[in-house]
Structure 1
Amino acid sequence: MPSSSTPISTTVSKLLDLAVVPGFSKIGFLIRKKLGGWSEISDFDLTGKTVVITGPTSGLGAEVARLLAPTGAKLILVGRNPQKLAAMIAEIGPKCVAGKPKSVIAEMGDLAAVRRACKDIRKLTSHIDVLVHNAGALLNSREVSPEGIEQTIASHVVGPYLMTSLLLSELRGGRVVTVSSGGMYTKGIPDLRHGASLEMSADKYNGSQQYAIAKRVQVTLNEMWAERVLETEFVATHPGWADTPGVQESIPGFRRVTAPILRSAREGADTIAWLATVDALPGASGTFWCDRETWPIHKSSGTKKNDTPEVRRLLWELLEQYCRV
Structure 2
Amino acid sequence: MNFSDIVDSTLELPIFPSFTRVGFDLRSRLEHWRSLDDYQLDGRTVAITGATSGLGRAAAKQLARMGASVIVMGRNPTKTEQVVNDLRHETKQSNIFSLIVDMGDLDSVNNAANKILSEYNQLDVLIHNAGALSAIRQTAPNGVELTVMAQVVGPFLLTSLLLDRLQESAKARVITMSSGGMYGAELEVESLPMTPANYNGTRQYALAKRAQVTLNEMWAEKIVDRMVVFQALHPGWSDTPGVAEALPTFKKIVGPLLRSPEAGADTMIWLAADDDRAIATSGKFWLDRRIRTIHRLNRTKRSDTPERRRALWDWVESVATKG
Q: TM (normalized to structure 1)?
A: 0.94
Distance 2:191 2:14 in 1: 32
Tell me by how many angstroms 1:41 deviates.
1.2
Match of 1:3 in 2: none
Q: 1:156 aligns with which of 138, 151, 159?
A: 151
Tell me by how many angstroms 1:96 deviates.
5.2
Q: Secondary structure at the match of 1:127?
A: coil
Match of 1:320 in 2: 317
Q: Secondary structure at the match of 2:52?
A: coil
Matched, 1:269 2:280: no
Q: 2:80 aligns with which of 59, 66, 85?
A: 85
Which 5+ residue runs of structure 2 have no aligned equivalent? Answer: none
Q: Which moved more, 1:239-248 or 1:84-93?
A: 84-93
Tell me by how many angstroms 1:99 deviates.
2.8
**What do you get for the CA RMSD once the two structures are aligned?**
1.4
Look up the equivalent residue of 2:86 and give its one-letter code: E
Tell me by how many angstroms 1:21 deviates.
0.4
Distance 1:257 1:276 in 2: 32
Alpha-carbon deviations, 1:187-210, whole Å to 9, x = none? Answer: 0112x4xxx321111111100000
Matched, 1:120 2:118: no
Look up the equivalent residue of 1:57 and give its one-letter code: T
Q: Which moved more, 1:75-84 or 1:112-121?
A: 75-84
Q: Would you say the 8 A contact 2:153–2:317 is kept in 1? A: no
Identity %: 46
Tell me by how many angstroms 1:39 deviates.
1.5
Q: Secondary structure at the match of 1:167?
A: helix
Counting matched residue pairs gives: 316
Match of 2:292 in 1: 295
Q: Which moved more, 1:75-84 or 1:134-143?
A: 75-84
Distance 2:91 2:163 in 1: 26
Tell me by how many angstroms 1:98 deviates.
6.2
Q: Would you say the 8 A contact 1:71–1:97 is kept in 2? A: no
Q: Would you say the 8 A contact 1:42–1:68 is kept in 2? A: no
Which 5+ residue runs of structure 1 have no aligned equivalent? Answer: 1-5
Q: 1:111 aligns with which of 106, 110, 123?
A: 106
Matched, 1:50 2:48: no
Q: Would you say the 8 A contact 2:64–2:95 is kept in 1? A: no
Look up the equivalent residue of 1:78 and give its one-letter code: M
Q: 2:246 aligns with which of 214, 225, 250?
A: 250
Alpha-carbon deviations, 1:99-148, whole Å to 9, x = none? Answer: 33121111111111000000011122122111110012000010000111
Match of 2:8 in 1: 13
Q: Would you say the 8 A contact 1:52–1:130 is kept in 2? A: yes
Distance 1:126 1:312 in 2: 34
Distance 2:261 2:299 in 1: 30
Which structure 2 residues correspond to residues 1-325 of structure 1 after superposition, within 5 A?
Answer: 7-94=2-89, 99-172=94-167, 173=170, 174-190=172-188, 192=189, 196-230=190-224, 231-282=227-278, 283-324=280-321
Tell me by how many angstroms 1:97 deviates.
7.0
Distance 2:93 2:85 in 1: 14
Distance 2:257 2:91 in 1: 32
Distance 1:81 1:280 in 2: 36
Distance 1:55 1:41 in 2: 21
Distance 2:76 2:134 in 1: 18
Q: Secondary structure at the match of 2:232?
A: strand
Q: Which moved more, 1:77-86 or 1:209-218?
A: 77-86
